[in-house]
Amino acid sequence: MRVDALSGTRLLYNLRFRAILYQVLAVGSIVVLGLYLFSNVSQKLAEQNIATGFAYLSREAGFVISQTLIDYKPTDTYGRAILAGIVNTIWVSAWSVVIATILGLIVGIARLSRNPLLAFLAFLYVEALRNVPLLLYLFLWYALIVTGLPAVREAWEVLPHVFLSNSGLTVPSLLWTSAHTIILVALVLGGALAVALRRRATAERIRTGGERTIWPLIALVLLTPPILAILIMQPDFTISVPEKGRFRLTGGAQLTPEFTALLVGLALSASAGIAEIVRSGILSVRKGQWEAARALGLRDGSTMRLVVLPQALRVIIPPLTSSYLSLFKNSSLAIAIGYPDLVMVSNTTMNQTGQAIEGIAIFMLVYLGLSITISIFMNWYNSRVALKER
Amino acid sequence: MTTATEIAEAQLKMPLQRGPNVERRLLQRTFKPLFGTPVNAAVTLVCLWVLWLGVKGAYGWLVTRAVTEGGAQACKVGQGACWPFYEAKLRFMIFGVYPYDEHWRVLLAMTLFLGAIGITMVPRFWNRKLLVLWGITIAATAVLIGGGIFGLRYVPTTQWSGLPLSFLLSAVGLALGFPLGVLLALARSSKLPAIRVIAIVFIEVIRGVPLISILFMASVMLPLFMPSGVTVDKLLRAQIAIIIFAAAYIAEAVRGGLQAIPRGQHEASSAMGLHYWQSMRLVVLPQALKIAIPPLVNISIGFFQDTTLVTIIGLLDFLSTVRTAMQDPAWVGIAVMEGYVFAAAVFLFFSYGMGAYSRFLERRMRLGHD
């Protein structure tokens, strides 16, 4: 009798019942909130007479995108415009990642230099870039390029055949054809074969203990496909080099001020972060490791490659991933200086069609998808270099 | 009896003898890292050259070539820093479009606020009284800036701008994002699968998209989600976006701290009869949050800089007021460097200060006394 009266309260004290109750409450409140918001949205959209759905993607866009990698003209569809924006975002992020990694590596090592002056300069570089917002730098670089640099006629030659002027950066370029793409694919194929071969050789070495010279074989496997491809396709390898004419630059590829400012801004600010990551990675390998490797009779190069780098990479990879990811996300600041990236194209689309929800949904999904792809790849790489503990 | 220790002690007490070698060694110690090898010497010379160029350029721009008097026309001709621009525009750059006669209110509020932050930064004051201090500071700041009572003129949020707005957005974002972030971190490490999944999805989605997209969402989409007739202030919308964004990042920092707490701590507190919230509040979180302090300070630095993004959705934050000042018809195209250098110096000052503080905290924690 008493037990029955208490059973209701008992149930409340049952841990399993509680766990289910909490979860049902959490999911339930989210569903209710979602339904409430959805009903608000549909009512608002009906009131304001805004169309819904993604049908607009196949309508004609009708706006100009100042620079695209893929063919795009105003008569193309909104979908194609957004695709052009996505390609632009990836293009600028990819180049920035490359430049930022190289710069970051150099500055990170310079930070650890025994030469105090060099270490100090590297310190100044890092702090000046880390403590000022990226957006400010983007505005500054853009303003400096447009107002501070000389006109094309008096362009600066910053590197041989690389010109900087108020209409951006002019660099030597290769006229890319499908033949080049095939050669690139062949090179990747050769690389994959070489990696597979090396793995087998390593496994065999571990099994038998015998050392064999395998690099000629690897070189052969690596280089045969691209060389064959070159021989078959006979592509045009002339590089178009910009030359300074009387009034303008001829040849080469012209990078707009917007692209240049964004590239410089993203690469510099990310390089400061990467420098700090590289520095802490190298510092994390104890001196004893160097000494032990030397005591085992390894040469300096082998010590770095076999002992220090694998351990430093373990510390470097996870934060490096997040700095690549934040570079990629920061490329969305392009809209502030007018580089037509995904966000800017979506923004124009939203203004023209009024379909804000779809527009934002598309670019958030694209960013999310690419972020997840990058982090899955880097996690895979990380799990390969991570400490294998038994 | 002379033991080895006594000898050692006697040696310690002896005045350091400056032998003939001392000067030479000192010279060597400074000389060798700079000019020890030919490569090093070359590096040093290049560095000296770079430093010289930098110092010469900065000094020339700031001092010798600077235009100290005259108006915009004098600056247009001159090659250096334009001090008249600062004279004319400094107050606008800092306070923005806040009513000119009421600037003292914002200044007072900012002083209070920075003072409270200064006190908070001293580890000795970390106790419950801080909460009271912050309660008073927030109330006073809100009254001073917003007005409407105590005879203070009411100032609408559309006129809140400049540096105070940047401080406000980042401080409120972090202050409200913090409890939300802690809850999210607890949810993410919860044993209940549904709650964990909700937290993971929320955190990863927010961290996977750029801040600008969340700001867009808040400024364009949020009004659509509200019931008809309800409008949300533009500043409040941006603030909500920043709070949500901050919460996701704070959650990850706190989760890092939670993971560092050994299971034994959880088990011991349940063995003592504490239920989940008690054991979190009294045992686990105090330790986890302490570990999470350095990453949290780094997040704060990042957020202070990230508030500049509200420029893009049209709020007048500090960077925005500086740019507005530069685009004043009288000054347009003249004070480009001046404006950006000033803004950069302000950001550098606060961010570097916070960074130095975070390094101090990390050192203090490594030493392990609290």
Contacts of A89 (CB under 8 A, 6+ apart): A328, A331, A332, A334, A341, A342, A343
Closest-approach residue (CA) in chain A for B343: A136
pLDDT tens per residue across span B233-266:
888 888 989 999 999 999 988 888 888 888 888 8
Q: Residue A314 and residue A316: Cα distance in Å, rounded?
A: 6
pLDDT at B155: 73
Closest-CA residue to B281 (of B182, B170, B144):
B182
Packed helices B285-306 and B336-367: angle between N→C axes, nearest 10 degrees: 170
pLDDT at B19: 55
- Contact across the interface for B192 and A330, Cβ inside 8 Å: no
- Contact of B122 with chain A, judged by CB distance below 8 Å, is answered with no
CA distance A359 to chain B (A): 10
Contacts of B352 in chain A (CB under 8 A): 127, 131
Closest-CA residue to B311 (of B177, B165, B176, B207):
B165
Of A30, A147, A363, the CB nearest to B213: A363
- Residue to mutate among B305, B332, B342, with most A CBs inside 10 A, is B305
**For residue B181, pLDDT beyond 60:** yes
Q: Do residues B213 and A367 touch, judged by C-beta distance below 8 A? A: yes
**For residue B346, pLDDT beyond 60:** yes
Of A27, A118, A368, the CB nearest to B205: A368
Contacts of A264 (CB under 8 A, 6+ apart): A141
DSSP class of residue B162 equals B
pLDDT at A135: 92
- Contact across the interface for B333 and A147, Cβ inside 8 Å: yes
Instruction: Give the end-to-end CA distance of chain B in Å, rounded to a whole number.
Output: 44
pLDDT (average), residues B187-198: 86
Q: Residue B136 and residue A173: Cα distance in Å, rounded?
A: 63
pLDDT at A390: 43
pLDDT at A1: 44
Contacts of A144 in chain B (CB under 8 A): 336
Closest-CA residue to A265 (of A162, A356, A144):
A144
Query: Residue A157: phi, psi to the nearest 5?
Result: -100, 95
Per-domain residue ranges for chain A?
Answer: 2-47, 78-140+257-385
Of B220, B311, B333, the CB nearest to A135: B311
Closest-approach residue (CA) in chain B for A338: B312
- Which token pair is A311? 């351990």
- Residue to mutate among B28, B32, B40, B47, with most A CBs inside 10 A, is B47
pLDDT at A5: 47
pLDDT at A373: 85
Of A41, A115, A147, the CB nearest to B33: A115
- Contact across the interface for B228 and A45, Cβ inside 8 Å: no
- Contact across the interface for A132 and B344, Cβ inside 8 Å: yes
Q: Considering only residues 194 to 223 of chain B, which have any Cβ-Cβ distance to chain A shorter than 8 Å?
A: 194-195, 198, 204-205, 207-213, 216-217, 220-221, 223
Contacts of B47 in chain A (CB under 8 A): 115, 117-118, 120-121
Share of chain B above pLDDT 70, in %: 90
- Contact across the interface for B225 and A37, Cβ inside 8 Å: yes
**For residue B273, pLDDT beyond 60:** yes
- Which token pair is A347? 């923004």
Contacts of A126 in chain B (CB under 8 A): none
Contacts of B347 in chain A (CB under 8 A): 131-133, 136
pLDDT (average), residues B102-117: 82
Q: Residue B180 and residue B202: Cα distance in Å, rounded?
A: 12
Q: Do residues B258 and B181 touch, judged by C-beta distance below 8 A? A: no
- Residue to mutate among B198, B212, B334, with most A CBs inside 10 A, is B212
pLDDT at A274: 92
DSSP lists the bridge partners of residue A255 as: A169
Taking the alpha carbons of B322, B326, B327, B328 in that order, is the dihedral positive or negative? positive
Give the angle subtended at the CA of B288 by the CAs of B285 and B292, to the nearest 5°: 125
Of B51, B227, B340, the CB nearest to A121: B51
Closest-approach residue (CA) in chain B for A330: B210
The pLDDT profile of chain A, 390 residues, written as one tens digit per residue, is 444 545 666 777 777 888 888 888 888 998 999 888 888 888 877 777 777 777 777 787 777 787 777 778 878 888 888 888 888 898 899 999 999 999 998 898 888 877 888 889 999 999 999 889 999 999 998 888 888 777 777 777 777 777 887 777 787 777 777 777 888 888 888 888 888 888 888 888 888 877 777 778 888 888 888 788 888 877 767 777 777 766 666 767 778 888 889 999 999 999 999 999 988 888 888 888 888 988 998 887 788 778 888 888 888 888 888 888 889 889 999 888 888 888 888 888 888 887 888 888 888 899 898 888 887 887 777 777 666 554
Half-sphere exposure of A359 (CA within 13 A, CB side): 24
pLDDT tens per residue across span B213-230:
888 888 888 887 877 777
Contacts of B128 (CB under 8 A, 6+ apart): none
- Contact across the interface for A27 and B220, Cβ inside 8 Å: no
Closest-CA residue to A327 (of A150, A99, A122, A147):
A99
B13: confidence class by pLDDT, cuts 50, 70, 90: low
- H or E segment and range at residue B183: helix B163-188
Q: Considering only residues 278 to 337 of chain B, which have any Cβ-Cβ distance to chain A shorter than 8 Å?
A: 301, 305-306, 308-309, 311-312, 319, 323, 333, 336
Closest-approach residue (CA) in chain A for B79: A148
Domain A78-140+257-385 has CATH 1.10.287.110: no
